[in-house]
Every structure is written in structure tokens, then in C-alpha cells.
Structure 1
Amino acid sequence: VERDLDARMPRTRNRPFVAGRFRAGAGWLVTILALLAAAVLLAAVVANGWAALYVFLGAVTYGVVYTVWLKRRTWLNIVVGGLSGSFAVLAGAAAVDPAMGAGPLLLAVVLFLWTPPHFWSLSMALREDYAAAGVPMLPVVVGNPLCAKVVFAHTLALSLLALLPALAGMGRIYLSAALVGGIWFTLESWWLVVRPSRRQAMRNFVASLGQLLLLLLGAIADRWLAGAA
């Protein structure tokens, strides 16, 4: 779907379809649809219908709504695309208990807020690549200095919201992880406002990954300890 874009960007021009290691054709579309159907069916059989629905919505949101429809059209592409991460959280939670509580719902919102500053940080570092490919990521549209301020605002809201699951069933391990990850990501985002350079954008990108890793590990550890007790 994105072979033409990948060919214009140094970061992606060696991907298999662009480099000619794989040949594009209808067979790939059939394969992708078959894999999606298998994943949805497996979720329905092993878990339940709600989990299957969220798996389907996550795949369609990322593969069709974001990649095919929005990515080339608007800087809001990744804002809407962030829903795919939220559906992944909801699918996992529904597989355990379809009547999910406030905790999984809050985590889904956290993933939704996490996605834009994560990808905008990367696109700030690779702004020239996205501009050359004609992809209207936020830094391409408004420039890195203004984008850095938007990233900081998103990160601050994200870091505060990420504390709320601790009030909805998550324990002290999650709260500690959310505090550490939130402070780390927020500080790096502040420095991105001060110096919106490629190097700092990559530091912020890494911090976003670190925050998400801490949040997920904290949530898993709390649930595991609760089950062991």
C-alpha cells in the first residue's frame, strides 16, 4: 500500500517490497485478509465475541483508517490511528473479563493519548523524510518548534492521566511505574520545547517507549501479584 512512500524515505527504502525482495500482488491482500479473519476467529473461539470485535476494530483502524485513508491527507492521521492501540488494550481486557472495569478503560485512553507524542517525536527527528514523501505529519505542517509545544502538552496530560488507573484497581507497583515513566517522558518533552533538535526528538521518542514499557510492566506486575495473593 505504501511502496511509493517507502521508496522516498531513507528509513524505509530498503523494505522488502521497495527493494524488490517481495513482489506486490493480489495474493498479499488475500493473505492479509485471511490472517485477519483467522485472528478474529481465534479470539472469538478462545476468548469471546467482545475480544474478537476489538481485534477486528484495531486492525481496521490501523490498516485502513490510518494507513490507507488518513496518513496522506491530514496531520490528525496519528491521532485517529492511536485508537488501534486502545483497541489492543480492550481486546486483552475483554479476553479476561468482557465486563471490564474502569482500569482497562483508563489504560485504553492512556494508549490513545500516548500515540501522538510518540509518533510526533519520531516525525520531528525525521521531518525531512516525511516532507519529501508528502506525508503531512504535524512537524511537516507546523514546524518543529510548535510541534514540540504540542508534544509537551500531550505528554503532560498523558502523564497525569496515567496515574488514574491506580485509583481504579491498579496497585503501588503500577503507580510507581507511572510516576517514573511520566516524569521521564515529561522532562524530555520539556527539553524538546527548549531545543527542538533531531537529537532531542529521538531522546523523547526513546522516553515515550520507556514510559509505555514501565506502564505495561507495572500493570502486569500488579495483576500477577494480586492473583498470587
Structure 2
Amino acid sequence: MHTTTLKPSGRSMAQLARDVISLFKLRIGVLIMITALVGMAVTPGPALGLAQVLVLALSVLLASASAGAFNQYVEYQSDRLMERTKKRAFVTGALPHHPAWLGLMAVLLAAAVAAAWLALNGVAALHVFLGAFFYGVVYTLWLKRRTPMNIVIGGLAGSFAVLAGAAAVDPALGPLPWLLALVLFLWTPPHFWSLAIANRDDYAQAGVPMLPVVVGPESAARTVLASTVALFIASLLPLAYGAGPVYGVGALLGGLHFVRKSWQLARQPARATAMGSFFASLVQLSVLLVAACIDAVLR
């Protein structure tokens, strides 16, 4: 008797790969990884070897991926209520919502922390862990559904990446990486609140107390503007602690662009201006990080 083994088509395997990749939020992970590399670049000290740089990059990326997947695992019920997230793999059933995923996430995080500990040092490994912990546990489990200030504390995830990169070079952590960590901390709220204003109805329907849901879009937009101004001022502080003119130009241009877009949002709170502010936040951070790297190389 002839039997036929059914195999998934190339298209279905490709779709499975895309679903798995989307689970780990790699776009966010790559951005966080870059902030860690910038923290390394701006920190004075002996240069890391290529293997150490790769371990730093991959450990931060894996830790972020673990936290991102955990966020989707925990939030899959509320994700189905939001237009922005209703096509995520756990929501649609493209990937089974099974506890085995938690084991994989734990293994990824443990591997990331262990690699950073062995190849770099304990301080760098601690910050790799804290970045994932603050996003996965502090933000997702403890704060997201309890307070409109949830993303403020959750923003520490990016700050810890900067500190992980800096600690890989010098565990003592000088003022410059601390100031860049402050910049990342202050960047997250206006970045995310801008997006939350654009998607306010989604968060309201899902019962998530994001700031625009609690105080309204007008008040939230004014808070975005005030937060962006604070971010802009903080981004100039590294100039007093060794950052050079290239960094200064990047901080000035990127910061003013973000302030202008957030001012437009405060004047006219709407989805279009909110998305303009959101994209301006990405431009501001990108310009700042590139300028910081170029500045470090020229020094």
C-alpha cells in the first residue's frame, strides 16, 4: 500500500517563520540592541574584542526578544480587542498559546544573561536581565493595567540596555552613560503616549488605562509636549560631560524636530498629529544614536 506523508508547503513554512519572528518583536529588539552598542561606544575604556561585541549585541537582543514574547503571551486576550494587535499570532491561533512558550522564553533570557556574564562581566549581565525584567514583569504584569504611568517605569527597559553596553567596557559606569540612560528613560513616555493618543479607542476598548484614556487626548497631548521638552533638555546634558559637537548637532536637530511635532499635537490633538509626533520620536532617537556613535569614533 502506498502512503503519502503530508508536508507543509513552502509558503506555510515561510508564514510560520514570520509568525515566530513577529512573536519576539525583533524590530524593537534591534533598536534596544543598538542603544546597548551606543552605550558601549560612548564609554571610555579598553576596546572590546569582536566576540565580546557580538555577545553584547546578541545577549541584549535575546533578552529583549524573550520579554517581547512574554508580553504577547500574557496580553493575548486583550490583544484581540485592539485593531493594532488583533492579528498577532497568539490571537489568531497561528501559534498555539501553550505554556511551552514560557519555557523557551526563560531559556532565551537565561542564555542571554549567562553569555553576558561569562564574556563581559556581572554588571553588564545584571543590566541585560533588568531590561527584560522591567518590560516583561514590571510593565506588563504589574503596571500596565493599574496606572496610566505604566509606560514611564516601563521605559527603564531601554535605559538598562545603554547601561549594559557601558558596563561591558567599564562596570563603574561614568556620568555619560547614565545621562544617555536618562535620555532613553525620558524618550519612552512621549514616544508611546503619542501612539496611544492615535490608538486611544483601542486601549479604551481593551480596558488598558493608558494616559489618553484616563485624562483625554487634549491633556495627554499637553503632557507629551512637556515630556518632549524635558527630553530635549536632558539630551543636551551630555555636552557638559564629554560629548562632542557632532553629538550636539544631532541632539539639537532631532530634539527640535520632535518638539515641533509634539507642539503641533498639543495644538490639534488628532490621529494625524499624534502619528506625526510618534514618527518624530523615532527620528529624534535615530539621529541622536547615530550622532553619539560618530562623535565617539571622532574622539
Match of 1:20 among 72, 90, 93: 93
Aligned counterparts, 1:117-156, within 5 A: 117-156=190-229
Match of 1:34 in 2: 107
Q: Does 1:97 align with 2:142?
A: no
Matched AA of 2:109: L
1:51 has 2:124 as partner: yes
DSSP-derived class of the 2:86 partner: coil
Say yes or no: does 1:217 pair with 2:290: yes
Shift of 1:100: 2.1
**Displacement, 1:66?**
0.2
Q: Is residue 2:208 matched to residue 1:157?
A: no
- Cα distance in 1 for partners of 2:217, 2:129 equals 35
Give every structure 1 segment of 4 or more consecutive aligned residues whose post-TM-superposition deviation is greater than 3 Å: none
Match of 1:60 in 2: 133
User: TM-score when scaled to structure 2?
Assistant: 0.75
> Which residue of 1 is the match for residue 19 of structure 2?
none
Work out the percentage of aligned pairs sharing the same amino acid: 58
The gaps in structure 2 that reach 5 residues or longer are 1-73
Shift of 1:25: 1.4
Q: Distance in 1 between matches of 2:81 and 2:289?
A: 35
SS at match of 1:163: helix
Task: Give how far 1:123 is off.
Answer: 0.2
**Whole-angstrom distance in 2 between the partners of 1:187 and 1:10:** 28
Aligned-residue CA RMSD (Å): 0.7
In structure 2, distance between residues paired with 1:221 and 1:41: 31
Aligned to 2:185: 112
Q: What one-letter code is carried by the residue in structure 1 that aligns with 2:177?
A: P
Deviation, structure 1 residue 71: 0.6
Tell me how far apart the structure 2 counterparts of residues 201 and 92 of structure 1 sit (CA, whole Å).
Answer: 32
How far apart in 2 are the matches of 1:215 and 1:177? 5
User: Tell me, what secondary structure is at the counterpart of 2:80?
Assistant: helix
Which deviations, in whole Å up to 9, do the C-alpha atoms of 1:161-205 show, x marking residues without a partner?
Answer: 100112111111110000001100001111111101110000000
List aligned pairs for 1:66-105, cutoff 5 A: 66-105=139-178
| CA distance, structure 2, for counterparts of residue 47 and residue 222 of structure 1 | 24
- Is 1:198 the counterpart of 2:283? The answer is no
Q: Which is higher, the Rg of structure 1 or of structure 2?
A: 2
Residues in 2 aligned to 1:110 and 1:122: alpha-carbon distance in whole angstroms: 19
